[in-house]
Amino acid sequence: MENKSWVGLLVLCLAIAVVGIAEAGVPAIFILGDSTADVGTNNFLPGSMARADFPHNGVDFPFSRATGRFSNGLNSADFISKQFGLKRSPRPFLSLNTTSLHKKSFRGVNFASGGSGLLDITGRTPFGKERIPFGASFVNRKNVITLSEQIQQLSLVKSNLADIKGQSVTEKLISKSLFFISTGSNDLFGYYHSNSSFSKEAFLSSLELAYEKHLKSLIELGARKFGIISIAPIGCCPSQRIYNATGGCLEDLNDLAIAFHERLGALLFKLSSQHKSIKYSLGNAFEMTISVIQNPLPFNFTQVEAACCGAGKLNAESFCSPHAKLCPNRNNYLFWDLFHPTQAASKLAAVTLYNGGPQFVYPINFSQLAKA
């Protein structure tokens, strides 16, 4: 009964979002994280293999353009931005020049980079191994923008805005803007598959400390409104199911995601207690996704195990490429490739974060965060 009620809430969120979008305007949106939110950052890293600027990626994007999104079309960063009146996600930082900040239409920046994580070693040289799969692909020391570097880029944006608009105007803009962060999955993938000698608790503590450091850096830069997206049931990704002889989820990997969500909730509560001006929304991506996996039909999903684009078992034994097998009914698939959601799944996640109740986003949803 409980799962059915959650399904009903998700359907209601989707219906509400269709009726009224962009109720709350915000001066700007800044997005940080990994490939779940990357809208082309890694296109500017020539040596990176964590890229999606080639078909079949983008097959449902306008003009079927492969933009660097790990999706058949738009991703969660786009749909979250659309809830606040933007056409899609702000442009990636590496595509900007100083004139971009002069424009009256400036609404933010996307810093997210596929392959990155909470730890600086994630996507670089993780846990003593030279190269292992992280999120989108194999990446090395020069081919990912770490979260620490993304925050440095934000600092540069703030400095340039202050030169253009003035310090007080910029401070006000930053304090009223929304900061969305989607990261952590790559850290868990790296740890789980590395056979690290780190205990589970020690590893999760290191992630929590890293997240605290990053959030404090953002607070020092003037950020006050945080939309945090926790880790989904990544053990149910097609790429992980192929490690299970039954094709089921890797529950040990899912347990790591659940445990980290609990730690993240406690961390955000602590920081908001220490900094009274801080407002936050913590999206429970695990519960949102697992509810769909367990009862997909109300959301028009008929395939929640296999990837739409790929090859082999569950279409998950290779990355999406121009030569990969492509499903024709993409709106009915939860997963686009062996790691990432389809455009349809990303839209459902975004509207749930925007309108959802405390089962899925706590203590307030993204719409309420904008008004806080």
pLDDT, tens only, 183-198? 999 999 999 999 888 8
Nearest 5°: the CA angle 358, 361, 366 is 120
Cβ atoms of 235 and 251 within 8 Å: the answer is: yes
Amino acid (one-letter) located at 125: T
Tokens of 48: 């990176």
Cis bond upstream, residue 363 (ω within 30): yes
pLDDT tens digits, 67-109: 999 999 999 999 999 999 999 999 999 999 867 777 777 999 9
| Residues assigned a catalytic role | 35, 337, 340
| Distance between CA atoms of residues 301 and 315, nearest Å | 17
pLDDT digits (tens, 9 = 90+) for 277-305: 999 999 999 999 999 999 999 999 999 99
Q: In the numeric block, which tokens belong to residue 282?
A: 């913590």
Alpha-carbon gap, residue 226 to 208, rounded angstroms: 16
Domains of the chain: 29-371 (3.40.50.1110)
Cβ contacts of 129 within 8 Å, gap of 6 or more: 194
What is d(CA 142, CA 357) in angstroms, rounded to the nearest whole number?
A: 41
Per-residue pLDDT of the chain in tens (372 residues, 90 and over written 9) = 344 444 444 444 443 343 333 344 699 999 999 999 999 999 999 878 789 999 999 999 999 999 999 999 999 999 999 999 999 999 999 999 867 777 777 999 999 999 999 999 998 743 333 333 333 333 334 589 999 999 999 999 999 999 999 999 999 999 999 999 999 999 999 999 998 888 999 999 999 999 999 999 999 999 999 999 999 999 999 999 999 999 999 999 999 999 999 999 999 999 999 999 999 999 999 999 999 999 999 999 999 999 999 999 999 999 999 999 999 999 999 999 999 999 999 999 999 999 999 999 999 999 999 999
Whether a cis peptide bond, with omega within 30° of 0, leads into 56 is yes
Report the Cα 71 to chain-centroid distance in Å. Answer: 12
Dig out the tokens for 101 from the structure. Answer: 């900040």
Total-model pTM: 0.90
Q: Do 47 and 143 touch, CB atoms closer than 8 A?
A: yes
